[in-house]
Structure 1
């Protein structure tokens, strides 16, 4: 099929949606299989990649787009798809993704967040606020107000809450609005539809209800075409493993954040680092009443390594050893807790199945309704770029996936069907 005859991604609006990031370029048939089996009522985003991921895998926006759309057609998908240009930081990021047809633009203003704001004492907070006060004109609009959500939760927009929000997010909000205006300008000039997700999840501290309310309210009042927002939820949402934390407390928090989204928008709540979080999917789906987006990426790469483990056991051992050598460098930009000391080296694990168990886990051994938890997955997850661009391992992994497409489709189908069914449980 020619590039000209590939389907065009569309905006998905407020339908529940699931993003299938693919770092290999050949995962879409497995993603489609899971959607065909368990995706009723959920809209897919098959083309999805961040600028950071493209850089680490030496892929291009047009390559990501065409690989996903062609895979979608080859697998028999006749429904619609969105296309997520993920973690955009600059106008250049917008340009290179907009021109090839991405429709869902995820703005990442994390470079402008003051990540230490939650720890400032009163004197430091006031000092820091004085530095940004000229750039943040909205504090007086909120200070002293109280918002009562429909579920009875109250948001106290006291002086401290407003000043801390201004210091922590003021400049990042300005950057997000600037980038949003640029996206609107580019897309409207080209006559293309678009929707925007705002990511404020890449912080150590959870997003407070006051911060969520102010950020979303400012985005909407300033004309951002906001379809979804990704707060930093309580607990730990690490790469490659299930949610870590108190599920009961998370449920309360999700309900409150969802109430804000319905009150101000409505817009969807988005879950980043969303793969493998099966234990909390039902809570997210129920709290939002279907107004959710879940974003995954690295987990499809891990399933690609499972194909290697099943068909070329010696090569899998080599990749694990190579990944261990790269992990402490490559993990720098990721939220993970794994250390090399937590997992035995391949030379210490004689059984091939045990090696897969320690570094990828086995679904048959995971309790119903739970996700993977072992730290070995994070070692492999963070090192995808080093493996896929390595002159030896990159071509070998690609060859194995090409030789065994049915295996890759089968493991992805099983993997994501479990994800989608967990989300369906709350709908």
Structure 2
């Protein structure tokens, strides 16, 4: 395989205000010292750029500066996150990783002639398919092949249009393509994933990561809600389906799963580690938005003007909670009865606010509803402009410490090094310096 190649392990990190790239990269530096090469991918969606008023070039500039400051010599990438044919243009110059999101096209039927041709070209899939490494085989009938093509083929064709537009602008092999189908209502089965990969190969997309939807709830900024054993089974079967597709369809040999976690899915991190270890598979973990929450935690921890601003952001988010939550309604579960009033929060100490917000599932003070509200409340800080950014810069040391420790201790170490997850037991996760 020529051109850019994504490493076996990679992590997608969000940096909404483009101030924490160095602190995020420091977590990858710590991982390398501990024996795991984890490639950073800075991701930011068009929606987030529009809300904040930023441009994709700012993500690239922040990443480049962090790499220079820390003398990072491994690859790194900037991801045009969840783009489609209508939003890709502004990402063409600064990005080299493209998450092509086709979830909106799932279920829209392709031309019947295209479906018929796909079924004919993949007639060899019909029958019993045995996936190596797992103790299961699947019966794929012609009817199942046709129904799956009717559901997904049009979406894959749309991905092909986007891929070719990017390739025309950047040249073949000069970017990493991912196809994302996670932001939809129903999880794809491993058999569906196998058929989707056949369609992707037929469409000529040299996909390096694929993001299916798994069963369970992947709410923003909080832990996974679902059957962890079922997730682990699905992941193992998906890994086996990918290996089959690489062998039989000529897809890139480094093709791997992309888990769009919505951040902080602590309870499935051990399952991800076990699966990659057992099958020798890679994984791309997209963990995104908790950096913004670590900024708020850092400001609150700093006290003084930082704490005052954190309380003000909460008060504004509380006042506009319905408006802020609507775009994220399918990926948040906020209990209004568990939201403290702004008056209550105004009286809190630094320790009280950080304890309520920091994602420690064993802390009695942790408030997942408050955390989710602030997770979607970054629009409040965006409207503050320089006032918010100036305080980030003034309290850079304490903010950066929280960002690095969160990314390393709570995400990288459990997923890529097999260390205890915060969901395992109280006190399981130590700060890096304490873990030595």
Q: Deviations over 1:272-329 (max 9, x none)?
A: 1352122212322332334100112211111111122123222211111211233322
Q: Against the structure 1 CA distance between its residues 396 and 251, is the aligned structure 2 distance closer, same or farther, given a 3 Å change threshold?
A: same
Q: How does 1:244-323 map to 2 (within 5 A)?
A: 244-265=225-246, 266=253, 267-288=255-276, 289-311=280-302, 312-323=306-317
Distance 1:365 1:407 in 2: 23
Q: Could you tell me which residue of structure 1 aligns to residue 422 of structure 2?
A: none
Distance 2:241 2:42 in 1: 29
Displacement, 1:135? 4.5
Q: CA RMSD in A?
A: 2.5
Q: Could you tell me which residue of structure 2 aligns to residue 133 of structure 1?
A: 112
- Aligned residue for 2:236, secondary structure, equals helix
Q: Could you tell me which residue of structure 1 aligns to residue 213 of structure 2?
A: 232
For structure 1, the 5+ residue unaligned runs are 1-9, 115-127
Q: Against the structure 1 CA distance between its residues 170 and 362, is the aligned structure 2 distance closer, same or farther, given a 3 Å change threshold?
A: closer
Maintained 8 Å contact 1:212/1:257:
yes
Q: Against the structure 1 CA distance between its residues 199 and 157, is the aligned structure 2 distance closer, same or farther, given a 3 Å change threshold?
A: same
- Aligned residue for 1:376, secondary structure, equals helix
Displacement, 1:176? 0.8
Displacement, 1:203? 1.1
* Partner of residue 158 from structure 1, selected from 123, 141, 147: 141
Q: Could you tell me which residue of structure 2 aligns to residue 174 of structure 1?
A: 157
Maintained 8 Å contact 2:59/2:78:
no
Q: Deviations over 1:54-111 (max 9, x none)?
A: 1111111111111221133224434331221111111x533322222x2111100122
Q: Say which is worse superposed, 277-286 or 292-301, in terms of deviation.
A: 277-286
TM-score, with length taken from structure 1: 0.84
Q: Deviations over 1:16-47 (max 9, x none)?
A: 11112210111012112211212443333343
Say if 2:376 is the partner of 1:347.
Answer: no
* Partner of residue 13 from structure 1, selected from 3, 6, 20: 6
Q: Could you tell me which residue of structure 1 aligns to residue 358 of structure 2?
A: 361
Distance 1:24 1:337 in 2: 25
Distance 1:167 1:173 in 2: 11
Distance 1:48 1:313 in 2: 28
Q: Against the structure 1 CA distance between its residues 16 and 373, is the aligned structure 2 distance closer, same or farther, given a 3 Å change threshold?
A: farther
Q: Against the structure 1 CA distance between its residues 42 and 324, is the aligned structure 2 distance closer, same or farther, given a 3 Å change threshold?
A: farther
Distance 2:28 2:205 in 1: 30
Distance 2:55 2:243 in 1: 36
Distance 2:168 2:273 in 1: 33
TM-score, with length taken from structure 2: 0.83
Q: Deviations over 1:346-367 (max 9, x none)?
A: 3234433333333x22549559
Maintained 8 Å contact 2:318/2:342:
no
Q: Could you tell me which residue of structure 1 aligns to residue 414 of structure 2?
A: 422
Q: Against the structure 1 CA distance between its residues 192 and 206, is the aligned structure 2 distance closer, same or farther, given a 3 Å change threshold?
A: closer
Distance 1:229 1:134 in 2: 26
